[in-house]
Amino acid sequence: MEKAFVAQRVAKKLFVTEAAVDGALVEASELMSEMLRARKDVNASMVFADETQAKLMDAIKALSEARTAMVGVHNELNEAKLRLGIRTKMDFADKFLAKEEAAPATMRKAG
């Protein structure tokens, strides 16, 4: 199998994984925001669910560390691609990201 096609297959999985980590980070951050808003809406004290919020912050930190690790994986795979003699720039990333960004937005209730 041609090296460029193998590299493209790996790149596709890399981009999907990066998007998944970013998506999880977004969802966890939105969960924290919603939890804080909910506590205020039910007039609960600051200590209510404090341990739960601390655990969620730990999860957000872990997701952030996972994102940083994925950036490292991306850079190392790019170097490996060059070491294998694959010099062409795959436009797959641009196409993948354009498709993801073009996805219809989900409607959410405001307020």
Q: How far apart are CA 111 and CA 95, in angstroms?
A: 35
- Biggest CA–CA distance in the chain, Å, is 63
What pLDDT is recorded for position 38?
Answer: 96
| Banded model confidence at residue 1, pLDDT cuts 50, 70, 90 | confident
Q: Where are the domains of the chain?
A: 3-102
DSSP category for residue 104: P
Tens of pLDDT, residues 26-61: 999 999 999 999 999 999 999 999 999 999 999 999
Q: How far apart are CA 61 and CA 65, in angstroms?
A: 6
The structure's pTM equals 0.74
